[in-house]
DNA sequence: GCGCTTATTGGACGATTGCGCAATATCGTC
DNA sequence: GACGATATTGCGCAATCGTCCAATAAGCGC
């Protein structure tokens, strides 16, 4: 429990902006994106609510920035680990392992909120779309590299990436939103199996 | 433009309840589930807002009821048409044709809202889960009947139904929430192709 | 130490939210 | 035609929302 390094009463604009986003993330983790308010964020920081609007034009921007931090961090972690892989197949294994974090349901709930709020909050829609595209790009790139060295077979890397990602999202959605008969284990098993079939890999290779 | 049949000033409880739900659907179609308010519904009906609370305990219940009507109607239409099919494969063809209605994006936006709001509104979560399960049941039943008469091959009808449904949802999500590079045509083509592979059908049969 | 810049405060503002309740209007029944 | 049941009104209530703004105070260059 390391205390934040002796917060000065007055922070540099860059630091403050970062602090606001961090506080927003913390609140959104507990309450979801859709019901995170300016006052929640201010209270979390221990400052006034007016301060938030000194750095952000609207709440839409604040939420979008917070969502971007969370989503981009997960993306960065996956991308970094996949980058160290010595083969496309190994990278894919890492992808499935990091994309389905058992203890971070709240992050996926943020995605659910972002997809729904996209219709009402332009900034949230823009970042949600951007991040989704980047995830697809990461996956597509990995597939392409595997096709290049013939370690896997795929006539349509871009489409395959969308299909794998969407199946994963659709299944995870059921777990997080409903807690249905679909289990976390099903999500992993079914999506990896689908990817193996999609990429001409033998069954179980991505397990 | 047929005027509603001479609304009496005082309606029977059953009719009024129905009218409230209908008005809620109309508002939700325009504004989404998440931002539909008691006063919106009252204004849509041309009545007072207090009336809504005379029939529903909370707004959560109203929204859940409205969502259920929309989702159940789509389900009923699909189920009815599929019931008239003379083969499992034909039923599946109907399924894909009716599940992806080009001109009704707002209905899918309601699903997005429901999935996100599920974390905050118990009644919405309950109906969202229930309806999702029924869609899965419909699809699973169709697959089972096809397996029974050997018109298709599937070792795991329940899982297959979840996978097909989730892929469809995940792809449609991209179209509705983001309007990304994924097109409506992609959604249909990709999900039918996945289903054909999943069910041991030759390519293009479900197109 | 002085003064300018600006980070920060703290509350006001108007709009909006879900919900509750007493008063009123309307209907079916005798 | 009067009565009882109840559908409906219309507003009030307390809480909350995002946004804005004048006042305050902290830090930096001189």
Q: How far is A23 from chain B (nearest CA, A)?
A: 21
Tell whether B74 lies on the interface with A, counting CB pairs under 8 A.
Answer: no
Give the helix ranges, DSSP H, for chain A. Answer: 13-31, 38-45, 50-55, 59-83, 88-99, 105-117, 122-148, 157-173, 184-198
Average pLDDT, chain A: 93
* Nearest alpha-carbon partner for B125 in B137, B110, B115: B115
Q: Report the residue of chain A nearest B121, measured CA to CA.
A: A177
Calculate mean pLDDT across residues A52-78: 97
Separation of B46 CA and D11 C1' (Å): 17
Rounded CA separation B85/B94 (Å): 8
Residue B180, pLDDT above cutoff 50: yes
What is the pLDDT confidence band of residue B84, given thresholds at 50, 70 and 90? very high
Residue identified by tokens 């139904």 is B161
Rounded CA separation A182/B159 (Å): 9
Q: How far is B58 from chain A (nearest CA, A)?
A: 18
**pLDDT at position B157:** 97
B111-123 per-position pLDDT tens digit: 999 999 999 999 9
Cβ–Cβ < 8 Å for B115, B127: no
**pLDDT at position A12:** 80
Residue from the list B113, B132, B171 with its beta carbon closest to the beta carbon of A166? B171
Calculate mean pLDDT across residues A3-17: 69
**pLDDT at position A9:** 73
Separation of A38 CA and D20 C1' (Å): 14
Residue B115: half-sphere exposure toward Cβ, Cα within 13 Å: 30
Residue A120, pLDDT above cutoff 50: yes
A80, exposed or middle or buried, with CB in 10 Å at 0-12, 13-18, 19+? exposed
Residue from the list B35, B177, B186 with its beta carbon closest to the beta carbon of A115? B177
What is the pLDDT confidence band of residue A66, given thresholds at 50, 70 and 90? very high
With beta carbons under 8 A apart, name residues in chain A contacting B133.
180-181
What is the pLDDT confidence band of residue A197, given thresholds at 50, 70 and 90? very high
**pLDDT at position A157:** 97
With beta carbons under 8 A apart, name residues in chain B contacting A168.
170
Q: Report the residue of chain A nearest B33, measured CA to CA.
A: A116
Picking from B108, B140, B167 by the largest number of A CB atoms within 10 A of its own CB, the best residue to mutate is: B167
A189, exposed or middle or buried, with CB in 10 Å at 0-12, 13-18, 19+? middle
């Amino acid at each position: 429990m390391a205390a934040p390094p002796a917060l000065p009463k007055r922070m540099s604009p860059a630091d403050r902006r970062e602090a606001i986003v961090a506080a927003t993330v913390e609140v959104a983790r507990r309450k979801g994106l859709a019901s995170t308010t300016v006052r929640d964020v201010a209270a979390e920081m221990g400052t006034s609510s007016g301060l938030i609007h000194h750095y952000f034009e609207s709440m839409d921007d604040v939420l979008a920035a917070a969502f971007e931090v969370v989503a981009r961090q997960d993306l960065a972690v996956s991308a970094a680990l996949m980058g160290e892989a010595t083969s496309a197949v190994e990278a894919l294994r890492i992808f499935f392992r990091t994309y389905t974090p058992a203890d971070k349901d709240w992050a996926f709930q943020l995605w659910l909120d972002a997809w729904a709020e996209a219709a009402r909050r332009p900034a949230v829609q823009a970042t949600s779309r951007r991040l989704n595209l980047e995830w697809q790009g990461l996956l597509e790139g990995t597939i392409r590299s595997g096709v290049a060295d013939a370690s896997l077979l795929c006539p349509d890397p871009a489409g395959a990436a969308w299909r794998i990602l969407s199946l994963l999202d659709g299944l995870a959605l059921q777990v997080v939103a409903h807690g249905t008969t679909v289990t976390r284990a099903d999500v992993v098993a079914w999506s990896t199996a689908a990817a193996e079939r999609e990429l001409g890999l033998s069954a179980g290779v991505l397990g």
